[in-house]
Amino acid sequence: MSDLDNASKVLDALKAAEPEPPQTALPMLNSLAKLVQGDPDQPIEVQEARADAFMAICEVGKALHRKQPTDQLWGPAIDAVEKWKSLAR
């Protein structure tokens, strides 16, 4: 599967998880880890964008796990995945 396919799936899942309660959203985010593993042959810009997306998703997951507010975290995570997706084209 290509980086573009993976980024699209991650973006869809992230948007689907956002309105869900933490106990539902957290497993949805945990399932994304395998999709964020990328092709090392991609340009460095794509690799960096993928890594940024992964870290942003991890921040949301960490906050959900700790039952902390996530309102300020979803937007940056979605933005990071959208950037990854745009570079993966």
* pLDDT at residue 10 in the model: 96
pLDDT score at 29? 96
Per residue of the chain (89 residues), give pLDDT as tens. 788 999 999 999 999 999 999 999 999 999 998 888 877 788 999 999 999 999 999 999 999 999 999 999 999 999 999 999 999 98
pLDDT at residue 19, rounded to an integer: 97
**Tally of domains within the chain:** 1
Range of the domain at 44: 3-88
CA angle, residues 33, 35, 38, in degrees to nearest 5: 105
